[in-house]
Structure 1
Amino acid sequence: MWRVQRVARVVVVVAVALAMTACATSREMALRRKADRVETQLKTEQKRVLSLPAEDATRPARLTHLDELRTTLSAANVALGTVSDYVPSAYRGTAYDVLDEVYGTIEWNIPLGPTDLRRPLPRQFQGGVLRLN
């Protein structure tokens, strides 16, 4: 009887560990899909801006705006790639929340013009660096 209980406990612990790993992996994968979607939107908007007449006064500023968003997206993608290896498990959920907000902010700011009011990045990602403290 004692052995059965012990085996049952081990099975429960292993199942919980696997479930937690699956949740973390699926959260990371969901963010990777979101990053891909945002990148596609950025490329589409860049093509649209490049198709504007060369005389359009807003064209250079819009391209600069999109380049800045692309740089932020690259920094977020690098941060996402480091979370599973370098962020302690107790802080991973917070890191994923911050990155989710970063991707949402980039997505929100894509159609805006260079003089429009932009949504700011979360304070935990200012300067393109993920800070969890």
Structure 2
Amino acid sequence: MQKFKFELASLLEFRQQEEQTAKQAYALAQQAVIQAQTATTKLLNEKHLIFAYASKSVELLQAQRRYLIDIENQMTTLALQKNEREAAVKTTQAALVQAQQARQVIEKLYVKKLAEYQAEVKRTEQIFLDEVGTQNYMRQQASGY
């Protein structure tokens, strides 16, 4: 009997590649969210440092105020970016789940076809062994044993 060959092997490989691509996109989206969180944390630390620094100079106080306003603007921008990036994470996560399900469907079909092939091989082997046993029995009967 010939070796097992899955007709949809190329489709299975394609689905596996799609899943890998979806995993990479998901990881990149998560990394972008983490970067936004890190940048926000850094800005918060700078803000706390500004508040901790006491100054008696009016010019320095005005510069600190302008810098705090700039930090607040940057934090607002980062919050918007973070929300967009979190939405992208949800989208890429959904795409990843869909790619995994598509791959699993083909893998289940592969397992089913492999089991059918193995059952057919066993059945063919059993038929062959039965035939050999029958022939041996017939020879023994013909020779008078």
Shift of 1:40: 1.0
Q: Which has the higher helix share?
A: 2
Shift of 1:7: 2.4
Q: Which amino acid aligns with 2:42?
A: K
Tell me how large the CA RMSD over aligned residues is. 2.2
- How many Å separate the matches in 2 of 1:32 and 1:61? 27
- Relative to the length of structure 1, the TM-score reads 0.50
Tell me the alpha carbon deviations over residues 8-43 of structure 1, each in whole angstroms, 9 at most, x when there is no partner. Answer: 112112111111112211211110111111111111
Of stretches 27-36 and 2-11 in structure 1, the one that deviates more from structure 2 is: 2-11
Structure 1 runs (4+) deviating above 4 angstroms are none
Alignment coverage as a number of residue pairs: 77
Q: Which amino acid aligns with 1:79?
A: T
1:82 to 75, 80, 83: 80
Pairing of 1:110-125 with structure 2 (within 5 A): none
Larger Cα Rg: Structure 1 or Structure 2? 2
1:61 to 59, 62, 66: 59
Q: Which amino acid aligns with 1:41?
A: L
- How many Å separate the matches in 2 of 1:15 and 1:80? 25
- How many Å separate the matches in 2 of 1:19 and 1:13? 10
- How many Å separate the matches in 1 of 2:81 and 2:41? 16
Residue 23 (1) aligns with residue 31 (2): yes
- How many Å separate the matches in 2 of 1:78 and 1:69? 14
- Relative to the length of structure 2, the TM-score reads 0.47
- How many Å separate the matches in 1 of 2:51 and 2:29? 33
Structure with the larger RCO, 1 or 2 (CA within 8 Å, 6+ apart): 2
